[in-house]
A = this chain, B = another copy of it.
Amino acid sequence: MIKFCNSCGAPASYRIPEGDSLPRAVCDACGHIQYENPKIVVGCVPIRGERILLCKRAIEPRYGLWTLPAGFMENAETAAEGAMREALEEANARVEIEELYTVFSVPHISQVHMMFRAKLLNDDFSAGTESLAVKLVTAEEIPWDELAFTVVRRTLQHYLEDRARGTFVPRFGDLRSPTR
């Protein structure tokens, strides 16, 4: 919850600005509005031959579980640039980003996840600071019971299905909270 104006430092309170339809954090002094919007998570499925690069998380949430390299998109970059950057940060991995492959809205945490297919360019990769380990796995070696996120599981499932039938089709969907 926002308590103060980040423009002038005076207290802010939640109310619906004129012409708007949702409560926003509005400065009681200068009127500045702080909008809060969904964040984008960008990542990729790095492929090397038949194998897929996975990272074991060294941070919360889901410490110790396996994931695809992904993270928050930054200002001034494209989604593909962000996905490439995350592969480098989390796995010291150089990837060539191919097509956008899965897009999932995750409304209960106000996120949209965008995962690309990607080519891992060489075997020179290693755990970045946010990873305990990184490894290339075959389809049979994917640790399905130790995956960190539903987005990762769904993306890997789609990837393997599409690879088996020889054609890749982008997928879009929503992931609701399991408790909903």
Interface residues of A (CB under 8 A from B): 2-12, 19, 21-22, 25, 34-40, 72-81, 89, 99-100, 103, 105, 107-108, 110, 112, 114, 129, 170, 172, 174
- The 8 Å CB contact of A40, one of B8, B38, B107, is B38
30 contacts between A and B (CB under 8 A): A2-B7, A3-B7, A3-B8, A4-B7, A4-B8, A5-B6, A5-B9, A6-B6, A9-B11, A22-B74, A35-B72, A36-B75, A37-B40, A37-B72, A37-B73, A37-B75, A38-B73, A38-B75, A40-B40, A75-B110, A76-B107, A76-B110, A79-B172, A80-B174, A81-B105, A81-B107, A99-B172, A100-B103, A100-B170, A103-B114
A79 touches B103 (CB 8 A): yes
In the complex, which residue of chain B has the Cβ closest to the Cβ of A19?
Answer: B129
Nearest-Cβ distance from residue A24 to partner chain B, whole angstroms? 10
> What chain B residues lie within 8 Å of A170 (beta carbons)?
100, 170, 172
Q: Considering the chains assembled together, what is the distance between the CA atoms of A80 and B6 in angstroms? A: 31
Nearest-Cβ distance from residue A124 to partner chain B, whole angstroms? 20
Nearest-Cβ distance from residue A99 to partner chain B, whole angstroms? 7
